[in-house]
Structure 1
Amino acid sequence: MSSTTDTSRTGGEWLESWDPEDEATWDKGLAWKTLWVTTFCLTLAFVAWFLPSAIIPKLNALGYDFSKSQLYWMAAMPGLSAGLLRIVWMTLPPILGTRKMVALTTLLLVFSTVGWGVRVQSPTAPYWELMVLAFLAGIGGGAFSGFMPSTSYFFPRRMQGTALGLQAGLGNFGVSLVQLLTPILIGLGALAVFGGSQELEVAGKANKEVWFQNAAFVWVPLMIIGAAMAWTMLKSVPIKANIKQQFDIFGNQDTWWMTLLYIMTFGTFSGLAAQFGLLMLNLYGAGNEEIVRGSGATAEVLIQGYSVPDPVSYVFLGALVGAAARVVFSPLTDKMGGAIWTLISGIGLIASISFTMTALTPDTSSAEALQGGFDRFFWGMLAIFLFSGIGNASTFKQMPMIFERRQAGGVIGWTAAIAAFGPFFFGVGVTLFGPVAFYGIGVAWAVMCVAITWWRYARPGAPKPG
């Protein structure tokens, strides 16, 4: 991950004398082609990573019988896997090169995706097997820490806020894409080339015939196409850095400060995106025994006049808002600097998390009170996604400005790896502490990060403005 090329890697897929800071020789077309091909594959990686979040809330309705705790742990597993695998993937760009890394990673996405498509067709899979599939889905999250640093090699520092923001933001759209399209795809019997239909029992509603395998199988051809595009269209920058050299980032204190800040932003985004549906279900829907008793068409809605929300109609909006914010605000971070927007992100998260906390204990005294609580919960969650998305853009602008090129790629990979544990820590935190206490921890974390941002990066005369 040095700006110095490795002359032992020349010809074929390996570029020669690559220096994006030299306008005279920089191949702008190749840089943007790399961005778009890699972004297409990254979007599919996020689809694979968050496919379980679209399926898990419906497993019991499909005939499985898991407890709330088991479902939270299952939804958390892709986050644990992604965090661990990102530590691996962050070392791959200098070792494999962009072409091999992107192509092979995209092919690996097929395994977990096919597995979910098979196992939703009959409620017979043991819990451990679904946990293994959830773990393998984390490969899609692990890819981020390889794809982003490798793309940063192709662009000059003045454009990295925009380039990385576009790639990460459009890649993040994979989350909302899978959550938005799942309820549509499962209703299209004509797409069900493999397997038959299932009976979906939704609390308070008539049973529904669905083809849940469509939610997984439809992405497999695109993953194969993406791998083929990467193999035939991409090149690799011969960055010279062995494993030992890559880990010298840990001697720089800003690696640790930026890790804390990215946990606040992407950790929040990924954690909420993975758990949004389950949280909504258990607070305001069929998972709350104080609101609904029973399941399927025979379910009894205890609060008359209250319409139980279907999570699949709402959850995609959170990831959509967060991803859009990352794309829209990335050019602004290039113009104004990242630190000021990280500060705004932190302050916004303090306010929005605090607001949402008022709706984490549903008032079941009346339909009006319950509906009002759900409205506060929903809009508060969207505000959290908005400010986390802004912070995702701004922190990725800061890192290339704070660190020299070789270290910047490593720090991007490392911070992304740690923040990818968001779905895991959110699921575990809600299970162990309850939503209110865990959101309170989130407020305290954001307060700490605002102080760090102001002291280290945003105040006049800050040691590392960026």
Structure 2
Amino acid sequence: MEEADVAQRWIAEWEPEDPGFWAREGRRTARRNLFLSVFAEHIGFGVWSLWSVLVLFMTAENGFALTPDDKFLLVSVVSLVGAALRLPYGFAVTRFGGRNWTVFSALVLLVPTGLAAVLVRNPDTPFWALLVCAAVAGLGGGNFASSMVNINRFFPEREKGWALGLNAGGGNLGVATVQLAGLAVMGAAGVAHPEILPLLFVPALLLAALLAYRRMDNLAAARTQRGVHRAVLRDRHCWILSVLYVGSFGSFIGYSFAFGLVLQNDFGRTPAQAAALTFLGPLLGSLARPVGGRLADRWGGARVTVGAFLGMGLGTLGALGASAAGSLPLFVAAFAALFVLTGLGNGSTYKMIPGIYAATSASREEGRRRAGAVIGISGAVGALGGVGVNLAFRQSYQATGDGVPALSAFLAFYALCATVTWAVYLRRSPVAADPVWA
């Protein structure tokens, strides 16, 4: 590399499929970038999920006059902005480099954390200002796409299920982290000091930026031509995989944001009682994601994905039954199962992407470029599922006073996702069924 490239930590040649290169230096470099990416993405997810906890602090006893509709709207705005930013964030990695963008994307999150610390201290803050602050927190949602696009290029095809699953699962754990941190703040200071929670992320963001600056790398080979994004937008696999990701990841992030509010509305839980339960689902779902990737490495992404959606349907039926019976333990158990299955489905769906494009592209390099573009696009579309989940719950409570209509709609969608996966990737196509490719 030239001296200027060394200073900016650009790697000009990267051949992970070459066994000699991988054993000699590739594995060590890839794993270093993976672990640092996981940390930065973890903190980004925490900031993105911040408002799922802050709304629990905003009670009448604490001086806030927010309705359940207002709170669902706040978390929906966060989800929407995060989803909208995933595509440009994914493209930014191919333009500016994974290491450079990780530094920037960590530092920019100081803005929403600082704004939140100022605004949530005052119960008289106008609702529009809270909406703007929540929208800015959506910047954290874009970090996932840039991290996944970056890590996808570092690993060989045979290890991508594990690597992408670990990267995404470690990032997803940020949801559980912020919810546990919120519970700790409530336990130590009560609900009267919500500003403490966003301030906890300031040193973590500075550390993530510093570690990325000092130890991560940019891959010159990861620079994607603009035409690749246009090409995959015309490809049916891009949109089918995006719909599947709406069902898996959209459910994960949507339930993560909504679960505490549902417990308050349906079961009368206090903020502390709700916070004591909300972290469980995101924790289990995040830990299950790399397992889903590993299972897909062995058994095929499509097979695992179909199984995950069928299981999610059963979990939704369990939640409907628990809601009808008014049983909180059964409801929490059903949602815990749902979170685990969304994690498995997240890992297996993302494993399908590089496998399908490796098998259907004219060359290995073309397959890598197309897979990177689809990872960014499907991540953006899939995150919109989180918006849909929260808006569905909002409408459900407006119309009937409970979450049954929303859960019924989710059940129908999971059935559709399972059917589509089976029909497109298992019934006729050996590509996504083969563990080598899926």
TM over 0.5: yes
Deviation at 1:352, TM superposition (A): 0.7
Q: 2:423, 2:162 → 1: CA distance?
A: 25
Given the alignment of the two structures, is residue 374 of structure 1 paired with residue 342 of structure 2, yes or no?
Answer: no
Aligned twin of 2:363: none
Instruction: Compute the displacement of 1:122 (Å).
Output: 2.4
Contact 1:186–1:213 (8 Å) recurs in 2: no
Secondary structure of the 1:125 match is coil
- Contact kept, 8 Å, 2:292 with 2:346, in 1: the verdict is no
Partner of 1:242: 225
1:431 corresponds to 2:414: no
1:339 aligns with 2:302: yes
Determine the structure 1 residue equivalent to 2:247.
Answer: 264
Structure 2: gaps spanning 5 or more residues = 358-366, 398-402
* Contact 1:249-1:411 at 8 Å conserved across structures: yes
Contact kept, 8 Å, 1:343 with 1:458, in 2: the verdict is no
Cα distance in 2, alignment partners of residues 464 and 376 from structure 1: 35
Q: State the TM-score, normalizing by the size of structure 1.
A: 0.84
Q: Offset at 1:463?
A: 5.4
The alpha carbon displacement at 1:279 in A equals 0.9
Secondary structure class of the residue paired with 1:358 = helix
Q: Which amino acid aligns with 1:312?
A: A
User: Which residue identity lines up with residue 253 of structure 1 in the other structure?
Assistant: R
Aligned residues: CA RMSD? 2.0
User: Where does residue 85 of structure 1 map in the other structure?
Assistant: 85
Q: How far does the alpha carbon of each residue in 1:20-41 deviate from its partner, in whole angstroms, 9 at most, with x for none?
A: 1112223211110100111100
Q: State the match for 1:393 in structure 2.
A: 347
Which whole-Å CA distance do the structure 1 matches of 2:371 and 2:242 have between them? 12
Counterpart of 1:24 in structure 2 is 20
Distance 1:333 1:463, change over 3 A: closer
Identity in percent = 28
Give the C-alpha shift of residue 186 in structure 1. Answer: 4.1
Equivalent residue number for residue 34 of structure 1: 33
SS in 2 for 1:66: coil
CA distance in structure 1 between the aligned counterparts of 2:317 and 2:431, rounded to whole angstroms: 31
SS at match of 2:18: coil
Q: Distance in 2 between matches of 1:62 and 1:116?
A: 16
Contact in 2 for aligned 1:52/1:75 (Cα 8 Å): yes
Does structure 2 conserve the Cα–Cα contact (< 8 Å) formed by 1:322 and 1:386?
Answer: yes
Unaligned 5+ segments in structure 1 are 1-5, 190-198, 201-209, 288-307, 362-368
Q: 2:258 aligns with which of 275, 295, 319?
A: 275
Q: Distance in 2 between matches of 1:464 and 1:252?
A: 16
Cα separation, 1, equivalents of 2:76 and 2:368: 33
Question: Are 1:222 and 2:204 an aligned pair?
Answer: yes
Give the match for residue 237 of structure 2.
254
Partner-residue secondary structure (3-state), 2:224: coil
The offset of 1:119, in angstroms, is 2.2
The answer to whether the aligner puts 1:94 opposite 2:94 as a matched pair is yes
The partner residue of 1:231 within 213, 216, 220 is 213
Q: Partners of 1:253 and 1:460 in 2: how far apart?
A: 15
The one of 307, 317, 321 equivalent to 1:354 is: 317
**For residues 177 and 241 of structure 2, what CA distance do their matches in structure 1 show?**
29
Match in the other structure for 2:362: none
Q: Give TM-score, length-normalised by structure 2.
A: 0.90
Superposition map of 1:171-320 within 5 A: 171-188=171-188, 200=191, 210-238=192-220, 239-285=222-268, 310-320=273-283
Could you give the per-residue CA deviations for residues 156-187 of structure 1, whole angstroms, max 9, x where no partner exists?
A: 01101000111101111110111012121344
Q: CA deviation at 1:332?
A: 2.2
Given the alignment, which residue of 401, 417, 421 partners 2:384?
421
Is 2:394 aligned against 1:443? no
Task: Return the offset for 1:459.
Answer: 3.8
Q: Which structure's CA Rg is the greater one?
A: 1
Q: Is the 8 A contact 2:315 2:335 kept in 1?
A: yes
